[in-house]
Amino acid sequence: MMGTMGKMAALAADPREDAFRKLFRFYRQCRPGTADLRGVIDFTQALPAPGCGYGAHKVFRSPLSVSSVSEQDACRAGLQPVSKWKAYGLEGYPGFIFIPNPFLPGYQRHWVKQCLKLYSRKPNVCNLDKHMVPEETRDLWGQSQELLRNKDVNKKRPRSLLEKLRWVTLGYHYNWDNKTYSADHYTPFPPDLAYLSEQVAAACGFQGFQAEAGILNYYRLDSTLGIHVDRSELDHSKPLLSFSFGQSAIFLLGGLKRDEVPTAMFMHSGDIMVMSGFSRLLNHAVPRVLPNFDGTSLPCCLEIPLPDALPAGSVAEPCSLEDWQVCANYLQTARVNMTVRQVLAPGQDWEERETETTSENACHLDDKDNEAKRPRMNPNS
C-alpha cells in the first residue's frame, strides 16, 4: 500500500496542477485514522496530529485584548472569559488568528439550532430557492424535523430539505452571479449572531466591528469548499469571522497565488478563525470533512446541554430535547460553518461601494471530479 510520502510524490509528479490543487486533492482523498493526516495542525495541541509535519514550526501564541470584552458580555454571548481563551497565529500569515473552542459548555447547541431552525427561514436566502417555489422553502425545519428525528444512518430514505441545504445568506445577501452585495438586497441581520461576532472581533482587537453579512455553509461528509479568495468586502482590515460546529474538517490556508503550498489545519466543533488584512486575500479551501475522531456520532462538546438557567441578557435561548434530537441527528453526518463579515468601510456609502467592489468566490464541490463555479444544489441529491 502506498504510504503518505508516496502519495504526495505521485501528486507532485502531475505538472498540470498547482501546489494548492495538489494538496487539496491529497486531503480530499485521505483516509481518516491514517498517516495521511500527520501534517495537519491541530490547534487543540498547537501541533500537527500526530507527530510533526509541514507547518508545525509556524504556530505561535497570539495575544488577545482581554480588557475589551467584559466577563458579563462574553457570558451573554455564550463564551468563556477572554482571559481563558487560547489564540494562535501562523508565521507568514499576518492577520490570521485561530481560537480553539472558546464556548461555554452547552452553548454550541444554541448556534447549531439557530443555523438549522431559524437562520434557514425566509426572508433569508438559500440555495434551494432556485429549485423550489417560495412556499416550499419558507420553513425548512418544519418540513424536515420528522424525517430527521427518526433518522437511521444505516437505512436508505429520501433526504430532508435540511439535508439538501448547502448555503444560506444573511444581512446583505451575497449575489453569486455578479459576486457583489447591494443595498436593495438586504434583510435584518440576526441580533444574536451580530452580538457574538462583535465580542469575538473586539477580543481580537477589532473594536467597532459591525456584522453586516453572513454566509452559512452546510456540509455533508462528502462535501468540500473549493479554492477561493474572499474579496467582496472593500475594507480588508475588517475581519472575516468563521465559526465551526459539528463534524471536524481540514482547512487549507495558502498564499496570494495557488503555486504556494498551503498549510493544513483541523477545524473542530466550536473553533473560531479570524482572517483580516493580508490573510483576507489568501487562497483557502476545505478539501475534507471528517467523521468524529473518537468513533462516537458527535464531538463530546456537543453532548453537554445548555444550562437550565441562562444568565440575564443572554442571547442564547433554551433548546428543547426534541429540537436537539433533530439537530444531533443532522450533525451525525454534517458540519455547519458560519462566516460573518462587515461589508461597508466606516463612513462609506453604497454608491461608492458599488463602483469599487470586485470579488472571487467558490463553494461546495459535491461532485468529487468537477469543481462548481458557484454555489449550487442538485435537487435530486
Binding site listing: 228, 230, 284
Identify the DSSP state of 46. T
Point out the annotated binding site for Fe cation: 228, 230, 284
d(CA 351, CA 341): 19
Nearest to 218 by CA among 179, 177, 246: 246
Q: In what order do the strands lie in the sheet with 213-220?
A: 59-61, 88-90, 96-99, 272-275, 240-246, 334-341, 213-220, 167-171, 125-126
**8 Å CB contact between 112 and 103:** no
**CB environment 260-289: b (16+ within 10 A), e (fewer):** ebbbbbbbbbbbbbbbbeebbebbbbbbbb
Identity of residue 344: L
